[in-house]
Structure 1
Amino acid sequence: MKKIAFIIIISFALYSCTKSNFLDDKTVGLTEETVFSDSIQSINFLNRIYLDAGFSFGPSRYTGSGGSGNSELSTDNAEGVNNTVVPSDAYVQGALTPGTVNNGFATDKDYWNGPYKNIRRVNLLMSKLPVTPFAESTKKRIRGELRFLRAWYYHYLLIAFGGVPVLQDTVYGTNDVISVPRSSYADFVSYLVSELDDAASDLRDVMYKDADYGRVTYGACLALKSRILLYAASPLFNGGSITDDPHLAALVSYPVADRNRWQLAADAAEAVINSGLYSLNVNNTTRPGYGFYQVFLRRVNSEYIFSYNRSAQKEFETFFLPPSRSGNCTMRPTLSLAEAFPMKDGKSIKESPLFNPNSPYANRDPRFDNSIIYNGMSYVTNTGTRAPVFTYMSTDAFPNSSADAYTSANKYTGFFSKKMLDENLTGSSSGTTERAWPLIRYAEILLNYAEAINEAGYPEKAYPKLIELRNRAGIQAGSDNMYGLKKDMSVEEMRAVIQNERRIELAFEDQRWNDIRRWKIASKVLSGFNTVQIITKTGANTYNYAAGYSQRPLKFRDAMYLLPLPFSEVQKMPVVKQNPGY
C-alpha cells in the first residue's frame, strides 16, 4: 500500500522577526490566538517548518542563468553553467564575499536566513505548545519533532559557519534589539547533541500511521547526532582551525584535537545500526545493484531515516536528462567522479584487470551505471523506445550536433546525471514517479561508522560495513569474499578507501561539499579545473577516450573552508565576529 506524504503546502507562512505582521498572507485573517487554539492550524504550522527541511538538497536550489542543482555543483563531482551569478560557481571561483553570500539563492534557500527563519518558527510553536488543544502525549511528540527540526536547521549553520548565535528557546519580537554573540564550536555541538538526546527520548515510543509517514522519528534523532559528531571529529573542526586568533579559533572549531571524538562519532553511528530500525535496500536478483537504483524511487523503504516526501513527479528527469530526453542537463558529472567508481570486482580502474581504456564503461561497479549516463548508454526515448545517448565530440572540438550533445564546449563533460532518475521516464513522459529526497539514509550511517572507527584506530572494524555496502551495490564478492578490498589495510589506506566509497555511494546527495571541507582536502580537489571526458568518434562504433578540462576555473582558498557570515548580520550585531579570512 502506498503511503501518502504528510507534508503539505499550507496557505500561510510566518514572517521572520523583522516583519510587523504575524502571518505572511494578510488576507487569511489568522492570529497567534486563532492558530494555536486550533489543532488543525497548529499542525499546519508544524508542517510549515518541515516544508523547508530539504532546502539544501533540492535540485533547483541554485538558481540563475539556467543553473540548477545542490551543493554538488561546488565540488569536483559536477559541472554547471560557469557563471559567478550562480552561487555554486561564485564559491568555487572565489567570488563569494560577506556581501554576496546570500545573493543568487531562491527565497529561504541560503545557509543563513532559511535556517534562522525556521528556528524562529520552532521557538514560537514551542512557546505556544502548552496552550495548544492537544493531549499531553501529542504535545510530547510535537516537542520531540520540534527539537529535531531546530537541530536540523542548526546543523546546516554548523557545517557552513562553525559556531553561530544560538537562540535557545527565545522568541524575539519585532521591536527587540537582537545582540547575541556566536556560540563557541564546542558549546554549539554540546547543545545540539543534548537537544537530539531529548528529542529521541520524546519520540522513542512514537509509532506513526500512514498519513504521518515522513515525520521525525526516534531513529532520525540518533542519525542526525551521528552526522554532527562525525563533523565535529573531522580535521577541519577537531583542532584544525584555519586561524591563529585564539578567540576566533574557539568559534569555528575545537581548539585542541582529540582522537576520542572519533570514538564518540563511531558510538553514535553504532547506536543507529544497533537499533535494528533500518537496513539497506538490497536487490541483486533483478540485476546487480538494482536495490541501489530502486531505493531512490520508493518513498517507503527500509533505508530512509529522514526524507523529504514529494508528490508523484519527474523533477530529476527534467533537470538532469539530456536534451534528446527533454531534460535540461543542468548538473553534469565530471570525469574524476566517473573514474572514482571501481570495476565490478571492486578494484579500482588502475588495479583491476577488467578495465579496458578503449571501452571504459564496461564491467564497472553497478552503481556507475545507476549514477551516470555515458556515451553509448541505451536509454528510453520520448517515444518509449530505447536508443543510445551519444556524448562524443565533433571534429571541431565541440560536442556533436545531435540532440544528445551539449550546445557548447563550456557545458561539456562527456556525461549526464542518472542517479535518482526513473530509467523508464523522460522529461516529456506522461508517467510520474513516487519518490522522496534522501536527507539521511542508512548507507550514510554505515559510512559514518566505518570512517569514525577507522580514525579511532580500528580499521579492521570498518571492513564489515564497507562489505555490506559493496554487496548491495552488486559488486562481486571474489574468492576471498572481500569485494575487492585489500586485506589488513592501515588507517591511512582505509581512509582513502572510505573517502572514495563515500563519494560514489552518496554522489549528488548534497554530501560531497561538506565532506571535502571537513576533511580539509578542498584546497587540493578544487584547484585548477575539473576533468572531463573528451570523446571522439573513430569509426562506426569505435571511439577514442581522453581526459580534458572543464572551462570553469577552481580557485579555492583556505578562508572558504567556512562561509562568510552575511555582512548585513555583522552590521546589525557587532558582537558577532566574522569568520577568518573575510
Structure 2
Amino acid sequence: MKKYYKVLFLAGLTSLYASCKRDLETVPIEQQTLDVIFDSRDSAGANANRFLYDSYLHLPSIHNRVGGDFLDAGADDAISSNTSNTSVFQLATGAYTANGYPDNQWSNFYTGIRQTNIFISNIDRVPLKGKLSNGTPFNRVWKAESKFLRALYYFELLKRYGGVPLLGDRVLSLADDVNIPRGSFSDCVEFIVSECDVIKDSLRTNPIDANNIERPTKAAAIALKARVLLYAASPLYNGGNIEAGNQYTGYASYDAGRWQRAANAARELIDQNVLSLDPSFQNVFLNQMSPERIFARQGGNNQSVENNNGPIGYTSSINNGRTSPTQELVNAFGMANGKSITETGSGYNANSPYENRDPRFYATILYNGAPWLGRPVQTHEGGADKPGGTRQQTRTSYYARKFMADYTGSAQYSNIPHDHILFRYAEVLLNFAEARNEYLGAPDADVYSAVELIRRRAGLNPYTIPQGLSKEQMRALIRNERRVELAFEEHRYYDVRRWKIAETEFNKELHGKLIYKLGSGAFSYQDTPVLQMKFKAPQMYFAPIPYSEVVKNKNMVQNPGW
C-alpha cells in the first residue's frame, strides 16, 4: 500500500507544507508519495534534499517576527512604535489568554518535527553517494542535520511551554492514537541533549564553507546542548518550580550539578578552538563567514531591517521606525572605560548622555545626534525623526540600529545579508561564564576570562573586570553583559523568565527621553514614562498550551494558571 505524503501532523491535523511545491513540480506536493521523494534509484538524493531543505522553513526568525515587532519589544528593552494593540504590547502587559497567546508556535514547531521524523524514517532508502572529508557518508550527515533541526524545535517548544509530547521517530496518521501526554521537563531536556551527543560527530565541522553556511555543524549541536542545559540549571526550573511536584514545569528540587553540567557543555565547544569572536561586533551580523557564527537561518539580501526600523525622517529611503528602544536598555550600556553609567569615575554626563559610551551602544541604538544617511538623527521634540502627529515614529526618542550596515555617510540603504543568527560564539562564552559562576562559591579565572573576552572585543578600555567580585556581583555583571551583547536576539524575554525575576523586571514602568532643543543649540533631556509592564506570576512564566490542543487531547495537561 502506498504511503502518501499528505499524512496530517499531530498538533493541528492539517496537511503538511505547500512551500516545496516549487521544488517538486512533476506532481502536486499533496500527491507526492514517499517512494518518489525518497527514491531508491536517486543516488544524488535530489528530491530528498529538497524535502530536507523544506524542514528548515520552521526555524526561528528574529527580525520583526512577532506581529511586525522584535520579541524584545515584549520585554523591557523596547516598545513597539505602533500604538495599536500589537502582539508584543499584549506580551508586555499580560493582555492575553490561553485562547490567544501572541507568540503561539506550537503548530509551527510540531510541523517541523513531523517533517524531520518523515525524513529520518525514510532517508536510508536513498542510495546517496559521497561522504564528508572525515569519511561520514551523506546519508548519516543528512539524518544528523534533520535530528538537529528536530532537537532545536523541541527546545523552542520547551522554553515556551515546559515539557511537551515527545514523539521519538514516530510519524502519526489519523488512524493512530494522538492522545499523547506531555513529556516531563526532565525527559525533554534529556532527549535534546542525547540527540546532540549522538549527532555531533556526524555533522559538518567548523569552519564551514560558503556553500553550506545554512547547515548545522558539530559546533551547532554542542551549542544547542549547552543552551538547553543552561536553561535546565536556571532558577525557574532548578529548585524554583512554579508548582511543586509539577513535572512539566521543572525539577522537584535544586541540584548544583546542573550548573556544572551546563558549564561543561559550553566548555567542550570553547576547548575545541574552532570558533572565535569576530574582531568587529557589527560584522558578526553582516558577514556570513564570520568566525563567530555557529548557526543561522538565512534571510536573504535585502533592506528589510532598515525599512522596518529606520528613523522616519529620511526621504531617500523607506523608514517605518517600528522599534523604540527603552531608556532602560540605553542605561544598561556602560561607558567606553568599562564602568556603568552610575559608577564613580565613569565620566557619564547627563547633559551629554551619548558621549563615550560602550561601542556596542552605537551599533545597537540610533539616538539624537547619531550620524545616519548623511545627517544627524533628530529625535528631539519636533525634529525630523520625531515630528509628532499621527505618523508612526519613535515613542522613546530612540530607534533600533542593530543588524544594519554602516550608513553614516550613505545617501540610502543597500541590500545586505539579513540572516537570523540563532547561535554565536559570544553567547557560548556567556553561557559558560554564567553556569560556572553559579556552580562555584566565587568566580574563578575561567569566569573572568570568558567575560573579558567579550568586553575586549566590544572595545572597552580597560576591558578587565575588578578582581575579588562576589558570586552575586559577577552574576549581576554577566546578566548585564547578556543584555547589551545579545540585545534584539530574542534572549532577554526568556533570560528574565529563566532567572525567575520577571515579576520584578517585567512589572515596572518603562521610559524614554523627552529631548528639547534649546536656543543655544544644546539639548535638555528628561526621562518620561512610555509603558507600564504587567507580569502575572506565576502563570506568565510559561506560555499557555494552545486551547485547541487541550480540547482535542484528553491527556494534555494545561500549564498552571491557564
Fold in common (TM above 0.5) = yes
Contact 1:81-1:411 at 8 Å conserved across structures = yes
Residues 72-471 of structure 1 aligned to structure 2 (within 5 Å)? 72-81=72-81, 85-101=85-101, 110-135=104-129, 137-203=137-203, 209-244=209-244, 246=245, 249-282=246-279, 291-325=280-314, 326-351=318-343, 352-380=345-373, 386-393=374-381, 400=382, 402-405=384-387, 407=389, 411-424=394-407, 429=412, 431-457=414-440, 458-460=442-444, 461-471=446-456
Q: Deviations over 1:102-152 (max 9, x none)?
A: 5xx6xxxx3211111000000011111121231481110011101110010
Q: Which moved more, 1:250-259 or 1:319-328?
A: 319-328
Contact 1:72–1:512 (CA under 8 A) maintained in structure 2 = yes
With normalisation by structure 1, the TM-score equals 0.87
Counterpart among 32, 36, 39 of residue 34 in structure 1? 36
Q: Which moved more, 1:324-333 or 1:80-89?
A: 80-89
Displacement of 1:558 in angstroms is 2.2
Going from structure 1 to structure 2, the CA distance change for 1:22 and 1:322 (only over 3 Å counts) comes to closer
Identify if the C-alpha distance between structure 1 residues 562 and 20 changes in structure 2 by more than 3 Å, giving closer, same or farther: closer
- CA displacement, residues 376-426 of structure 1 (integer Å, 9 cap, x when unaligned): 11111xxxxx11111112xxxxxx263454646995111000111112289
Q: Which amino acid aligns with 1:448?
A: N
Q: CA deviation at 1:169?
A: 0.7
Equivalent AA in structure 2 for residue 387 of structure 1: R
Tell me the amino acid that sits aligned with residue 378 of structure 2.
Answer: F
**Mapped contact 2:205–2:217 kept (Cα < 8 A):** no
The 1-side partners of 2:48 and 2:38 are apart by: 5
Going from structure 1 to structure 2, the CA distance change for 1:308 and 1:22 (only over 3 Å counts) comes to closer
Match for residue 62 of structure 1? 66
Contact 2:82 2:322 in 1 (8 A): no
Aligned residue-pair number: 532
The change in CA–CA distance for 1:556 and 1:526 in structure 2 (over 3 A counts) is farther
The equivalent of 2:24 in structure 1 is: none
Q: Which moved more, 1:194-203 or 1:13-22?
A: 13-22
Structure 1: distance between partners of 2:335 and 2:122: 56
1:486 maps onto 2:466 in alignment: yes
Extract unaligned runs of 5+ from structure 2: 22-26, 130-135
* Alpha-carbon distance, 1:62 to partner: 1.7
Task: Between 20-29 and 330-339, report the one with greater CA deviation.
Answer: 20-29
Q: Cα offset for 1:20? A: 7.2
CA distance in 2, matches of 1:42, 1:510: 32
Shift of 1:91: 1.7
Structure 1 window deviating more from structure 2 (45-54 vs 465-474): it is: 45-54
Instruction: Give how far 1:293 is off.
Output: 1.4
**In the alignment, is the contact (CA less than 8 A) between 1:166 and 1:182 conserved in 2?**
yes
Amino acid at match of 1:550: V
Q: What is residue 9 of structure 1 aligned with on the other side?
A: none
Deviations 1:505-534 (A, max 9, x none): 000111111100000111111113211112
In the alignment, the residues of structure 2 paired with residue 167 and residue 208 of structure 1 have an alpha-carbon distance, to the nearest angstrom, of: 31
Work out the CA distance in 2 between the residues paired with 1:21 and 1:89. Answer: 32
- Whether the aligned pair in 2 keeps the contact of 1:536 and 1:544 (CA below 8 Å) is yes
Matched, 1:52 2:58: yes
Separation in 2 of the partners of 1:487 and 1:184? 41
How far, CA to CA, are the matches of 2:409 and 2:550 in structure 1?
Answer: 46
For 2:436 and 2:495, locate their aligned partners in 1 and report how far apart those are by CA, in whole Å. 17
> 1:239 Cα deviation (Å)?
1.7
Instruction: Note the C-alpha offset of 1:19.
Output: 5.3
Can you list the C-alpha shifts for 1:197-226, whole angstroms capped at 9, x where unaligned? 011032266986532222010110000001
Say whether the 8 Å CA contact 2:311–2:393 is kept in structure 1. Answer: no
Q: Aligned partners of 1:407, 1:52: CA distance in 2, in Å?
A: 39
* Deviation of the 1:83 alpha carbon: 6.1
Helix, strand or coil at the partner of 1:536: strand
**Aligned with 2:321: secondary structure?**
coil
Distance 2:82 2:385 in 1: 21
Q: Which residue number in structure 1 is paired with residue 458 of structure 2?
A: 473
Which amino acid in the other structure matches residue 177 of structure 1?
D
Check whether the contact 1:144–1:202 (CA below 8 A) recurs between aligned residues. Answer: yes
User: Counterpart of 2:514 in structure 1: which amino acid?
Assistant: I
Out of 221-230 and 431-440, give the one that drifted further. 431-440
Partner of 2:132: none
Q: How many angstroms does 1:436 deviate by? A: 2.2
C-alpha distance in structure 2 between counterparts of 1:259 and 1:401, whole Å = 53
Q: Do 2:340 and 2:346's aligned partners in 1 also have CA atoms closer than 8 Å?
A: no
CA distance in 1, matches of 2:465, 2:184: 40
Q: Would you say the 8 A contact 1:83–1:90 is kept in 2?
A: no
CA 555–192 in structure 1, closer or farther in 2 if over 3 Å, else same:
closer
- The residue identity in structure 1 corresponding to 2:87 is P
CA contact (8 A) 2:163 2:248 kept: yes
Q: Deviations over 1:272-331 (max 9, x none)?
A: 11111100001xxxxxxxx01122111111000011223211111111111123311111
Q: Secondary structure, in 3 states, of the residue corresponding to 2:248? A: helix
- Name 1:288's counterpart in structure 2: none
CA, structure 1 residues 81+22, in 2 after alignment: closer, same or farther (shift >3 Å)? Answer: closer
Going from structure 1 to structure 2, the CA distance change for 1:391 and 1:84 (only over 3 Å counts) comes to closer
Aligned mates of 1:207, 1:468 — CA distance in 2: 20
CA RMSD of aligned residues (A): 2.4
2:133 alignment counterpart: none
**CA distance, structure 1, for counterparts of residue 519 and residue 363 of structure 2:** 27
Higher mean alpha-carbon deviation, 429-438 vs 69-78, is at 429-438
Structure 1, unpaired ranges of 5+: 1-11, 283-290, 381-385, 394-399, 478-482
CA distance in 2, matches of 1:303, 1:14: 40
Pair 213,271 (structure 1): closer, same or farther in 2 beyond 3 Å: same
8 A contact 1:317–1:425 mirrored in 2: no
Shift of 1:30: 2.8
| CA displacement 1:150-186 (0-9 Å, x = unmatched) | 0101101111111111111110113333011111111
- Aligned-partner SS, 1:252: coil
Q: TM-score, normalised by structure 2?
A: 0.89
Shift of 1:494: 0.4
Q: CA deviation at 1:353?
A: 3.6
Maintained 8 Å contact 1:13/1:48: no
Matched residue type, 2:290: N
Q: Could you tell me the percent identity over the aligned residues?
A: 34
